[in-house]
Chain A
Amino acid sequence: MSHPKTPHVVDARYMEPPGPFVATMEMLDTLKDGEKMLLLLFREPHPLYKVLRQNGHDYETELMPDGTFEILISR
């Protein structure tokens, strides 16, 4: 799946926990420096935010009209 913001997308909107976290960490491991990935979820993943901050990743979150949170994460 691709997206205008980045070709690296994890669509976790219909995944049960801990699926979204596992899939995000796996994709982050495959990215090169400077690349970004997008996580799609129907909620804000606060525990994931904390780990991202601890590991030095930047992220930006945008709530779309259909209720999807688009979380753009930098490697």
Chain B
Amino acid sequence: MQALLSFENAPPFAAPLRFFLTAPLFAVLAGLLLAWNGPQLMASRWMPGALAATHLVTVGFMLQVMLGALIQILPVVAGANLRHPLRVARIVHVGLSGGGLLLAGGFLTAPSGMLGVAALLLGATLLYFLAVCIQALAGVPSTSPTIRGLKLALVGLAAVVGLGMAMAFALTYGWSVPLTALADLHAGWGLGGWAGVLLVAMAYVVVPMFQLTPGYPARPSWWFPVAMLILLLLWSGGVLGNLGGLVQLSQGLAAVVGIAFCVLTLRLQGKRRRARADVTYRYWQLGLVAGVLALLMLLISSLWPAASELDGWTIGFGILIVAGGFMPFITGMLYKISSFLSWLHLQNFGQAKIPAPAMNKILTDTDCQRQMVAYVAALALLLAAVIVPDWLARPAGLAFALANAWLFWNLASAVRRYRRAQAEMAEKLAAL
């Protein structure tokens, strides 16, 4: 019954797996781009290489895993069933992967038409994804902070995509727009309104479930996503109305909300009942600590705007929040979800006659922990490269590429073991 239960709601393994295996390859490309471009990539956030590398990670890695995971878990965390999940996965995966590559190419070859094509492809893909999710969530009441958070995260996704498309067309056709303010707002909606709110909504479920911590208290859980959305709307109003003070105030308060969530999660983790610290727990600890540090930087720059003019400040903030915060959260979950799904699908395949191999036989914690050591070293090099780019930018790029290639290897090995186990179980079932 248990396998039947979990399975009835589960899309085919192929649906999320394509996203999970593709994502690390985009991060490898970002690392190789840094190794190739060297210190000039870190000279400014506006360098073509910096824009390309940032979007290889945010679109190619982060968004890739987040959309793949959503296709998988919407039925489980919200009771919302996507129609034809495999078809949705195929369309979104192709659009997102192609769009991500074109976007990076567009930044590197600007001014060219490639940026506009990338914007159109990504815009159409994400509009389709949003439509599918809205259809699935229509009529699902917000009975938990997770469901409310999911719905608000989709608002954030629509905003970041809209702003991104507007800027891509502005760059392509030379429209006169306040690019710096719009780019900050685009990043705010992307990292705060979409990725941040989605992370918070998912954390309410996965942190207690997989790390055996107490639950998130109800009142702040309801408010975190709402507060973030309100602050981003105020920030947007500040940009539209050219009200610098309102922009600074909303940025600072958004940083405080983010810090409060990270600190609360660290406190819950401190009360966990699982004695052993597995790789997911360690990756989350890294993400939470780096997230607090990055958000403190945002808070400082909102109180003292001249800070963002300091050498390396903006690049350092970007590395800390994306490579230090979001990527570790995502990688930690990627390991947990991949091994859990492998086990779940094998369990179903065994038809309650042949037991599935344990999760740690599919993906061993030792392999994952070793990869994490490589990732932490790469992150340290990236942060150090902000200070001494001439010496460290290229080694940091190579280290980042290597750590993510290792992630790909670990996930691909898990898929190989999954297929082998499935073949062995098929033989045993045939012999019964």
Contacts and interface: CB of A to CB of B under 8 A. Distances in A.
Please indicate whether A and B come from the same complex rather than being unrelated chains.
yes
Interface stretch (A1-9, A14-22, A30-38): A14-22
Nearest to A45: B76
Interface residues of B, number: 29
A18 to B, nearest CB: 5
A54 to B, nearest CB: 9
A17 B73 CA distance: 14
B277 interface: no
A46 B76 CA distance: 6
A44 B6 CA distance: 14
Interface string B69-95: 000000111110000000000000000
A23 to B, nearest CB: 11
Contacts of B146: 43-44
Contact of A49 (B79, B212, B218, B221): B79
Band of interface residues on A = 20 to 34
A64 B8 CA distance: 29
Interface stretch (B150-158, B201-209, B240-248, B399-407): B201-209
B36 interface: no
Nearest to B221: A67
Contacts of A66: 214-215, 217-218
B276 interface: no
B214 A42 contact: yes
Interface string B160-181: 0000000000000000000000
The dominant DSSP class at the B interface is helix
Nearest to A46: B79
B219 A46 contact: no
Interface in B127-165: 143-144, 146
A67 B143 contact: no
A57 interface: no
A47 B76 contact: yes
A22 B221 contact: no
A51 B209 contact: no
B431 interface: no
A69 B5 contact: no
A42 B217 contact: no
Contacts of A50: 5, 8-9, 79
Contacts of B204: 43, 67
Contact of A69 (B2, B6, B144, B273): B144
A65 B222 CA distance: 11
Contacts of B76: 46-47
Question: Lowest 9 A-B CB distances belong to which pairs?
Answer: A67-B215, A42-B215, A46-B79, A42-B208, A43-B205, A18-B2, A47-B9, A44-B144, A67-B216
Interface of A: 13-14, 16-18, 21-22, 25, 42-44, 46-51, 61, 63-69
Interface of B: 1-2, 5-6, 8-9, 75-79, 143-144, 146, 204-205, 208-210, 212, 214-219, 221, 273, 340
